[in-house]
Structure formats: C-alpha cells, structure tokens
Structure 1
Amino acid sequence: MIGLVLAAAGSGSRFGSDTPKQFIPFEGKPLYLHALERFSSFFEVAVLVLPEGWKERVENQVGSLSYRDRLFLEIGGPRRQDSVYQGLNRLGEDIEMVLVHDAARPFTSSELIAAVIEQTRQHEACVPVVPVADTLKEVSDGRIVRTLDRKGLSLVQTPQGFEINLLKRAFQQAIQDGFYGTDEAALVERLGSPVHVVAGERSNLKVTCKGDL
C-alpha cells in the first residue's frame, strides 16, 4: 500500500503574499489541491501537513473530495523535516511505501509519479532529478568567487519515494544526531543507503514566486 505525505506547512515567505503560496488560488482552486489531485489515484492514504491556523479552512475545502475518507490533516512542526515526520507517523501500519511531495509543485505528471513508484519498488528509495542547465557560480560579498563544474550535478524534485521503514529509520537517526536536511533523500543518504533517480520534468517546478504561475 502507498501513502502520501503532502508537505504544505511552509510559510511561503518568498512568494510575497500574506497567504502561504500553497493556498494561493490557481485556475479555481488552491495550489495544494492541484498537487493532491495528481496523486489521488495512486495513494491508499494521504496526510496533508498544514501550518498552524489553516486546518479549519482546509477542512471546508476538502470536505467534498471523493477520497476524503483517505485523507488526514495534520498540523506541521517548526521545520519541513519536523512536519514530514509528523505526517509519516500518521500513516497506518499497512503502508509499505511513502511518497513525499511538495504542495507547491502542482504540475507533476502521472507518468512521473508512476516512474517514482516503480523504481521505489525495485530500489527502496527514488527521487526525480533534472540536470543543471545554467552555469553555476559561487558568490561572496557581491562578487563571483569561482565557476563550479556543473557536470554530474542535478536539481532534485519531488515526489520522493521510499520504503516506509527505511525512511522512518532515516528520520530517527537524524533526530538522534540533531541533523536537519533539505529533503528526505538526504536523511536516507546518511544511513549509507543508495537513493536511485529517475528523470524529472522541467514542468514539475516548485512555485516560489508569482511569476512561476
């Protein structure tokens, strides 16, 4: 069985709005709903992790969804890692695989989701990546320090897929060590477990500013 943790607890401060970006309306519904609906045919259970003060409003928005009985709402923690861990622990014992996805990525294709699931079944951990296309510079004090070699570098996207017990062990080790990573794959990497990749999609962007819409 597949579970989804949809990370929607961020403040979205870079978006330049009083409303967190994942709740901004786009084509008639908030971004997080676009993201959630992309996964609705894949998960048995989903946990939507929310910022403080948004649960009642979201309850009203998701009340009529056909999969409402498979969707749980959870209030997140102070950081993304805390929030995802809370969502992970809300999934039932029957869940064998978990997908973690950014609520601010509303354009993920079914083909990409299926590819991540397939590779996670084979390898226990899989993330989508796209090669770095732009030139990379290290900058300090308003000046370029050096140009970095982009060969072999990729941008990591979500959904990230994991065998659920592997991800739980990774979180528990990170908590024990006081380590915070920028994504779930970083926690699994610290265990020494390989994380496989599939080709991501340029269209699977994470909405960060208003121009992305």
Structure 2
Amino acid sequence: MFSIIIVANGSSNRFGKNNKLLSRIDGEYLINITIDRFLENKLIEEIILVSNNQVFDKVKNKNVVKTFGGETRASSVYNGLKLVTKKYVLVHDGARPFVNKSFIKMLLEEIKNYDVVVPYLKVTSCLKQVFEDNTIKTVNRNEFIQTQTPQVFLSSVIKKAYEKFDANWMDDLQAVENNKSLKIKLIEGDSKNIKITYASDLNL
C-alpha cells in the first residue's frame, strides 16, 4: 500500500569533507539506520533510494530499489516518483535517521483520510526577517512553521504535481500547497527527528 522515497543525494557541504550519509552511528552507516526505520513497518512495501554509487555500495538491504539523483532535491524526488507503484508514497530525507517508528505508523494512519499529511514544528525562537539592505524586521513567529519529513501523499496527487516540477522547490509540500482542492493535514512533528546537517549533530 505504501512506497517510500528516501532522498540521499545531497552534497553535504555544511557537514565537512565526508558524505554525512556514510557517517557511522554505533558502527552503522547513517543511511542504513534511516532505511531500517521504515523496513520494520510491514505496510511499507517499496523502498526507493535516490542517491549515487558511493551510497548505493554501502546499503545492506538488497530489496531497496536504487535510482540516481538529480542536480536538485526536487529533481531527485522526481526520479524517485517515476518508480513508485503503490497507492501512497512517503518522501523522507536520508539524513533524518532518528524518525520515530510509532510516529511513522501514525502518519500512515492519518493519510487514509487526506491527500497529503505533513509533520511540522512550531517556531519557538524569536524570528526576524533580514532584507538585502541589511534592515531587520521582527515577525510574528506564530505565523510560521518548520516542516519535517516524512511527508506523505496520495501517489497520484504528488505525481501529477511533479509533472511540471520546479527545481527550486524546498520540500514536497511546496509542490501542492496552493492546490485548494486537496485535503492537506498538518500534524505536529517530533523535535528529535532532526536532519543531520553539521558533523556536531552526530553527537546527539
């Protein structure tokens, strides 16, 4: 019933010299920890990894479907969507290895009543907007959220949106967020579901 696209083709520029997906946590490659989070859910019948040969060579599960990424995150997701065969699809960042298994289960239940389900976090710090002339404006943080992955979609909905994808899309919700005909559910996410960005993040 469910496919998942794991996007793992980033440049890791902010992480340092090494590919963060091939960092080890308790002796295991980060990318395998991320994959394992979804392998344990029997409703997820298809795992599609979008990456490169360097990462593919370290993947231990032989049932993972592999396809190469594009120049941007959006183009990588598009490559993965071409292989999706199930009714629903999750899209997840390969660099988020700490997603909670019970949270995944909850997302799979929620999507049955919606077209799109996306987890988010509230903004808790003071939020300011900086303009090109270096002027600063404090904005109402209650009007903003931070989205997380996995984001879950009816496959037909996200595939249709990606027929004319924009390479600059920052996440997959952006592909459908202006479609007023869709039932979109925002659900509070998990603060522990961080995206590994810097080498220091591994200390968590």
The answer to whether the superposition gives a TM-score over 0.5 is yes
Greater fraction helix? 1
For 1:44, the equivalent position in structure 2 comes to 45
Identity rate, percent? 30
**CA separation in 1, counterparts of 2:51 and 2:194?**
20
Question: Which range moved further: 190-199 or 97-106?
Answer: 190-199
Equivalent residues in 2 for 1:1-213, closer than 5 Å: 1-17=1-17, 19-42=18-41, 43-51=44-52, 53-54=53-54, 58-59=56-57, 61-63=58-60, 65=61, 68-69=62-63, 71-92=64-85, 95-140=86-131, 143-172=134-163, 174-175=164-165, 178=166, 180-192=168-180, 193-213=182-202
Closer/same/farther in 2, CA of residues 144 and 111 from structure 1, 3 Å limit: farther
Secondary structure of 2:91's counterpart equals strand
CA RMSD of aligned residues (A): 1.8
Deviation, 1:127, is 0.7
Deviation, 1:12, is 1.2
Using structure 1 for the length normalisation, give the TM-score.
0.87
Deviating 4+ runs (over 4 angstroms): 141-144
Say if 2:31 and 2:59, in contact at 8 Å, map to a contact too.
no
**CA separation in 1, counterparts of 2:132 and 2:119?**
33
Say if 1:115 and 1:198, in contact at 8 Å, map to a contact too.
no
Deviation, 1:191, is 2.9
Q: Deviations over 1:16-65 (max 9, x none)?
A: 22x221222222122111111111123101111113x426xx23x334x3
Q: Deviations over 1:130-173 (max 9, x none)?
A: 1101111112469451101001321100000000000101111x
Say if 2:73 and 2:167, in contact at 8 Å, map to a contact too.
no
Deviation, 1:195, is 2.1
**CA separation in 1, counterparts of 2:59 and 2:9?**
16
Question: Which range moved further: 136-145 or 42-51?
Answer: 136-145
Say if 2:74 and 2:167, in contact at 8 Å, map to a contact too.
no
Using structure 2 for the length normalisation, give the TM-score.
0.90
**CA separation in 1, counterparts of 2:92 and 2:184?**
16
Secondary structure of 1:98's counterpart equals strand
